[in-house]
A = this chain, B = another copy of it.
Amino acid sequence: MPLDQDLRIAIDGKWRHVRVAARQELAEMNLAFNHELSMEEARERTLAQLKDLIPTGIPAAGFREENGGGGDPGMAVTGIEMLAQYDLSLMVKAGVQWGLFGGAVQNLGTERHHTLIPDIINLDLVGCFAMTETGHGSDVQKLEVTATYDPATEEFVIDSPTPNSRKDYIGNAAKHATMAAVFAQLITQGENHGVHCFLVPIRDKKGRDLPGVTTSDCGHKGGLRGVDNGRIMFDQVRIPRENLLNRYGNVAEDGTYTSPVDNINRRFFTMLGTLVRGRVSVGGAASAAAEVGLTIAGKYALRRRQFERGSGEEVLLMDYRTHQRRLLPLIAKSYAYRFAQNQLVARMDRLQRAEEPDELEQRELETRAAGLKAVQTWHAIQAIQESREACGGAGYLTENRLVLLRRDVDVFATFEGDNHVLLQLLGKDLLTKYAKEVSGLDPMGLAMFAASSFATSVKERTAAGALIQRLIDARSGRDDESDLLDRGTQLDLFEVREERVLDGLARRLRKAVKADPDEAFRIFNNAQDHLVRAARVHIDRVVLEAFTAGIARTEEGEAAELLRETCTLFALTTIEDDLAWFMGHNRISIPKAKEVLPLVNAQCEKLRPFTEDLVEGFGVAWGALKIPILTD
């Protein structure tokens, strides 16, 4: 089998059958983005495309079988990734309808709501996910919309009390949604029980706002033209008591509130946690978009020539050292993230099929999804940008897709959780992981965590742990004599860095234990960049380990060998990016450090002949690449 096919098998992962089918089925659907459409036309086209997807089984996959779904969460996320190769508007609109809106109904609702799921799957009911407000996007515990229970009529009254409480940027809200899953402060018997989710009809069948509901249109955006983002204001809108999605909190006819989770913070984060698939999908879709961009730039660099070499022949772009340095490390990172994403999806799938998912594992899934989403979306922005620049003026023409990919993926860095906020979430979770108290986002709780427990917590591994440890133990030399090309050395460097960064962070934050709230805020705020860094170096380790484990699962041969070399480039460039840290903490000596740059260059040279195989390995469907820059 050709090398690129073997690579594809290696990184297609457990849901390879979904990818193979999707490459076939989606290719027949004319999904390629049409940039000549007006905003209105683009929105209608995307809705029509959603309908075409129903027979593929991707929309149903994420719902449980007993509710009429396919019972295959891994397929749902993998299918979304495949859509992302064609058009991110389509991916986002699918994610809003089936992932966020449908996911809220399935995961936050109970039997009485699950009857809606068949209609959600087949688009007879189009919904939106109305969480973000103008005034609160990241801090969603502080949402202002209220849902006040009126026992007299057994209804909730949904209300937007201030201009800032307007629901904002909501996908499907400008036009297509007839129902909203509205997040609002639940108030009953005079008490606020925190944010819960309610089903609120917002439009009639003719698309007119229902009484008390005022929708409006966010209009033109940086990208995602096919998605109708909008705003919603509620003026004392009454809905039946039963419209509360009541899995984690219920209100009886008389207004009595009950919940299986007592702590108000913990309840809120438990609810959010059930929606983890959104972040997993967004990270995977961003990675898919990065792969499309790098495929375009890689293929272009293998056909475009510029400037003559000594002997008179014009040189392929890909033969230039700078071009290799621009593209190959990004390609290597895309491989790394694919393995990490495959591992994450498998874990999510397992947990979502479980009757009683382990709480610790669930929490770890959430924070890993948060961290991976952040690095994958930034990687996508960077990779597509570099790809655009590497294609010069041709890359700037809309017909060649790169600028559209770049536009569409841009918002991925700030939606489904702002990346900086997500990395802080992960950083805090790394700190509190083994502390007894699950303290939500309370900074005081964090400081109670003692640094001494890090060593064990960090090393705890769920995947391929024994293999990783074996590689580390067998590494060729220590410190000054270490061989930077040795995987064990690399794994060790990544692991030690994470330990040290976390350890330093914990020591800085300990002072906050006895501080007053303002002083504690100051201490935490001063360490905020350190916290974000802890999350980043953790994710680096997780990704390198996933890559290593993924190679171990690949059949020995040329593809496995090429993956090893690709993994080495990923490890080396990650080390290069943070070389000052490794030197400053005596993990890489000065003479060793000077080897890094030549090693990276040599690794690029080694991978250069495999550029075509590597981009073909991503398996981007040809239908997503029918652009003049590659076909003329």
State the A residues within 8 Å of B (CB).
35-36, 132, 136-139, 142, 168-169, 218-223, 306-311, 314-315, 319-322, 325-326, 381, 385, 388-389, 392-393, 395-399, 402-403, 406-407, 410-411, 413-415, 418-420, 424, 443, 516-518, 520-521, 525-529, 532, 579-580, 583-584, 586, 590, 593-594, 601
Chain B residue nearest to A528 (CB atoms) is: B321
A102 to B592, CA, bound (A): 55
A378: min CB distance to chain B, Å:
9
Given contacts A220-B399, A593-B584, contact A392 B306 (CB under 8 A): no
B398 touches A36 (CB 8 A): no
Scoring A223, A307, A398, A594 by chain B CB atoms within 10 A of each residue's CB, the highest score goes to A307
Q: Which listed residue (B138, B392, B521) contacts A137, Cβ 8 A?
A: B392
A403 touches B397 (CB 8 A): no
A586 to B591, CA, bound (A): 11
A396: min CB distance to chain B, Å:
5
A468: min CB distance to chain B, Å:
26
B396 touches A528 (CB 8 A): no
Chain B contacts of A424 at CB under 8 A? 322
A458 to B161, CA, bound (A): 65
Having A389-B419, A403-B407, A586-B590, one finds 9 other A-B pairs with CB under 8 Å, namely A136-B306, A221-B396, A222-B395, A222-B402, A222-B406, A310-B443, A310-B516, A310-B520, A580-B593
A590 touches B601 (CB 8 A): no
B403 touches A222 (CB 8 A): yes
A340 to B55, CA, bound (A): 60
B220 touches A36 (CB 8 A): yes
A322 touches B219 (CB 8 A): no
Given contacts A222-B388, A310-B521, A381-B385, contact A393 B132 (CB under 8 A): yes
A419 to B218, CA, bound (A): 36
Q: Which listed residue (B219, B528, B584) contacts A397, Cβ 8 A?
A: B219
Given contacts A393-B414, A407-B407, A593-B584, contact A518 B311 (CB under 8 A): yes
Chain B contacts of A389 at CB under 8 A? 413-414, 418-419
Chain B contacts of A321 at CB under 8 A? 525-529
Scoring A136, A517, A521, A579 by chain B CB atoms within 10 A of each residue's CB, the highest score goes to A521
A389 to B398, CA, bound (A): 23
B396 touches A414 (CB 8 A): yes
A327: min CB distance to chain B, Å:
12
Scoring A310, A325, A414, A424 by chain B CB atoms within 10 A of each residue's CB, the highest score goes to A310
B310 touches A517 (CB 8 A): yes
A382: min CB distance to chain B, Å:
10
A630: min CB distance to chain B, Å:
14
B393 touches A411 (CB 8 A): yes
A593: min CB distance to chain B, Å:
5
Chain B contacts of A601 at CB under 8 A? 526, 529
Q: Which listed residue (B169, B223, B309, B402) contacts A393, Cβ 8 A?
A: B169
Chain B contacts of A583 at CB under 8 A? 580, 583-584, 590, 593
A41: min CB distance to chain B, Å:
13
B307 touches A35 (CB 8 A): no
A393 touches B168 (CB 8 A): yes
A443 to B310, CA, bound (A): 9
B138 touches A306 (CB 8 A): yes
Given contacts A415-B393, A580-B579, contact A306 B593 (CB under 8 A): no
Chain B contacts of A402 at CB under 8 A? 222
Chain B contacts of A307 at CB under 8 A? 138-139
Given contacts A310-B517, A580-B580, contact A403 B410 (CB under 8 A): yes
Chain B residue nearest to A411 (CB atoms) is: B396
Chain B contacts of A314 at CB under 8 A? 139, 142
Scoring A402, A443, A529 by chain B CB atoms within 10 A of each residue's CB, the highest score goes to A529
Chain B contacts of A517 at CB under 8 A? 309-311
